[in-house]
């Protein structure tokens, strides 16, 4: 009888992380969660930052927990959210490690666009405009003098893998979220780096499946380290159809053979990001962040099912623009909803009904843009991630988009992470 081979996916989102052990059985990937931990931005001196020491501590604790239950783990890999990074001077971190929701890029964005107008940037990279793109964060670092003497730029998963195995890597799928990778060459664009006067800390990119080194006898492998890239690998689609990876953010997109960087795509703020052998033509849309922040403020004692029931019972027809900047990091999400709806929301159910309906409408708008820009019509929409468990939102999405919604409440990101490790092990 063939021995099972076990692999460990470390999947870290903006609000929590999890360690999931996977193996092949009866032609399928089976998976078991062995460790879970909280994550979140912290406020420090008026800025939003990540505690990377706590992250690393949890990563190591989770590996220990996995080894206790599955002593023969072949390999591990780490995926996280995109755009954020750690700068190094030699072996020393430049602190703090800023979080993407921090407002420090506000002054940097217009200065970047003076040097490289966004139309020019988009034509080169196909990367959608977001105020937190790494390019703007790095220029904010430049303006603040934080790039003096910097020797390395490691995105969060690369940093954690370096701390585990001692090897520095730069992985392709995550790099494509920085706004600095050329859509045609798949490499960091030297003209962008030179125009902004950034230091030479952007070496050759490595592809998912690359073996880096070892941690306590376990191989450290690059998966698609951007969690959405791993999630798309983990969706069991019968055909190439649009998907929503639904978490704090909703990432809506479709696989395309190559980037689409035309004016219509730029106007619709669609991004072209690296996949495993394909391009992901997708868009960041606001996600469960709206709901999670409302819950914290309005009814932290209420469970998920009670919130959904309250939303179902409400008859409120108010909508917001879910992607408006005032919902990105408000001091009060309730107040942001109150202003946007002109005070129409009365009950708790009204707030959540408004949030869910507004999300569904934003999905419908983005999907219409996707179909127009790709020149293809689709019948189905796959939804994975935490949001896929919400039947009410799935129903509203089907109604708003006119598509057959296939909701797969699976750990798609961890499955994609595991799949890439398994293929690297063949």
Residues 22 and 154 in one domain: yes
How many separate domains does the chain show? 2
Residues 180 and 323 in one domain: no
Which neighbouring-strand residues pair with 86? 154
CATH code, domain carrying 72: 3.30.420.40
Q: How confident is the model at residue 1 (pLDDT cuts 50, 70, 90)?
A: very low
Residues 83 and 180 in one domain: yes
Q: How far is CA 380 from CA 194, 241, 367, 384, 405, in A?
A: 43, 6, 11, 13, 6
Closest CA to 249 of 350, 100, 33, 134: 100
Question: Is residue 227 annotated as a catalytic residue, yes or no?
Answer: yes
Report which secondary-structure segment, H or E, holds 12: strand 6-12
Q: Which domain holds residue 131?
A: 6-227+414-424
Residues 262 and 209 in one domain: no
Residues 404 and 418 in one domain: no
pLDDT of residue 81: 95
Please state the separation of Cα 11 from the chain's center in Å: 11
Per annotation, catalytic residue among 11, 102, 227, 350: 227
Whether 220 and 212 have beta carbons less than 8 Å apart is answered as: yes
How far apart, in whole angstroms, are the C-alpha atoms of residue 409 and residue 193? Answer: 40
Strands 73-80 and 16-25: unpaired
Mean pLDDT of the chain: 96
**Residue 275, in any domain of the structure:** yes
Q: How confident is the model at residue 41 (pLDDT cuts 50, 70, 90)?
A: very high
Residues 151 and 241 in one domain: no
Residues 148 and 250 in one domain: no
Kindly report, residue by residue over 103-120, the tens digit of the pLDDT: 999 999 999 999 999 999
Mean pLDDT, rounded, for 192-199: 98
H-helix segments, 20-167 = 52-69, 108-115, 118-125, 134-143, 156-165
How far apart, in whole angstroms, are the C-alpha atoms of residue 228 and residue 209? Answer: 16
Kindly report, residue by residue over 131-150, the tens digit of the pLDDT: 999 999 999 999 999 999 99
Q: How many CB atoms lie within 10 A of CB 321?
A: 14
Q: How many CB atoms lie within 10 A of CB 343?
A: 10
Whether the bond between 96 and the residue before it is cis, its omega within 30 degrees of 0, is yes
Residues 64 and 210 in one domain: yes
Strands 380-384 and 279-286: unpaired
**Residue 1, in any domain of the structure:** no
How far apart, in whole angstroms, are the C-alpha atoms of residue 296 and residue 303? Answer: 11
- Tell me if residue 89 falls in helix, strand or coil: strand
**Residue 358, in any domain of the structure:** yes
Kindly report, residue by residue over 232-255, the tens digit of the pLDDT: 999 999 899 999 999 888 999 999
**Residue 384, in any domain of the structure:** yes
**pLDDT above 60 for 181:** yes
Kindly report, residue by residue over 268-321, the tens digit of the pLDDT: 999 999 999 999 999 988 999 999 999 999 999 999 899 999 999 999 999 999
Q: How confident is the model at residue 409 (pLDDT cuts 50, 70, 90)?
A: confident
pLDDT of residue 2: 57
Torsion of CA 321, 402, 229, 6, to 10 degrees: 130
Residues 172 and 255 in one domain: no
Please state the separation of Cα 299 from the chain's center in Å: 27
Residues 128 and 201 in one domain: yes
Q: How confident is the model at residue 7 (pLDDT cuts 50, 70, 90)?
A: very high
Torsion of CA 368, 226, 328, 117, to 10 degrees: -70
Q: How many CB atoms lie within 10 A of CB 268?
A: 16
As given in the structure block, the two tokens for residue 189 are 């664009």
Whether 346 and 317 have beta carbons less than 8 Å apart is answered as: no
Mean pLDDT, rounded, for 398-426: 95
**Residue 205, in any domain of the structure:** yes
Q: How far is CA 348 from CA 68, 291, 327, 328, 341, in A?
A: 44, 11, 18, 21, 14
Whether 144 and 108 have beta carbons less than 8 Å apart is answered as: no
């Amino acid at each position: 009888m063939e021995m099972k081979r076990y692999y460990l996916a470390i999947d870290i989102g903006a609000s929590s992380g999890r360690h999931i052990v996977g193996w092949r059985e009866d032609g399928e990937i089976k998976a078991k969660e062995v460790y879970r931990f909280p994550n979140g931005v912290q406020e420090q001196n008026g800025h939003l930052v990540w505690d990377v020491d706590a992250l690393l501590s949890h990563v190591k604790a989770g590996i220990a927990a996995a080894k206790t239950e599955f002593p023969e783990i072949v390999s591990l890999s780490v995926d996280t959210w995109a755009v954020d990074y750690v700068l190094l001077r030699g072996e020393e971190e430049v602190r703090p490690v800023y979080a993407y929701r921090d407002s420090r890029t506000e002054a940097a964005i217009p200065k970047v666009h003076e040097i490289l107008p966004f139309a020019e940037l988009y034509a080169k990279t196909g990367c959608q405009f977001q105020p937190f793109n790494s390019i703007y964060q790095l220029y904010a670092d430049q303006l603040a003098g934080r790039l003096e003497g910097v020797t390395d730029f490691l995105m969060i998963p690369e940093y954690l893998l370096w701390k585990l195995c001692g090897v520095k890597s730069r992985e392709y799928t995550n790099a494509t979220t920085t706004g600095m990778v050329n859509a045609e060459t798949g490499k960091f664009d030297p003209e962008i780096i030179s125009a902004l006067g950034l230091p030479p800390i952007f070496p050759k990119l490595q592809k998912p499946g690359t073996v880096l080194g070892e941690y306590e006898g376990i191989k450290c492998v690059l998966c698609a380290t951007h969690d959405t890239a791993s999630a798309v690998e983990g969706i069991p689609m019968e055909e190439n159809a649009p998907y929503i990876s639904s978490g704090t953010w909703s990432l809506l997109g479709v696989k395309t053979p190559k980037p689409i960087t035309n004016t219509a795509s730029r106007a619709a703020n669609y991004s072209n990001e690296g996949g495993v052998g394909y391009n992901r033509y997708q868009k960041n849309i606001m996600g469960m962040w709206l709901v999670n922040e409302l819950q914290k403020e309005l009814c932290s004692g209420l469970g998920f099912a009670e919130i959904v029931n309250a939303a179902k019972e409400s008859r409120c027809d108010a909508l917001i623009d879910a992607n408006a900047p005032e919902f990105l990091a408000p001091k009060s999400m309730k107040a942001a909803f109150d202003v946007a709806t002109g005070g129409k929301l009365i009950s708790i159910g009204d707030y959540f009904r408004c949030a869910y309906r507004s999300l569904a409408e934003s999905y419908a708008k983005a999907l219409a843009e996707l179909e127009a820009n790709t020149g293809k019509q689709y019948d189905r929409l796959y939804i994975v991630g935490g949001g896929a468990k919400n039947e009410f939102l799935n129903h509203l999405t089907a109604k708003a988009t006119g598509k057959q919604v296939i909701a797969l409440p699976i750990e798609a990101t961890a499955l994609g992470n595991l799949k890439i490790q398994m293929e690297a092990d063949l």
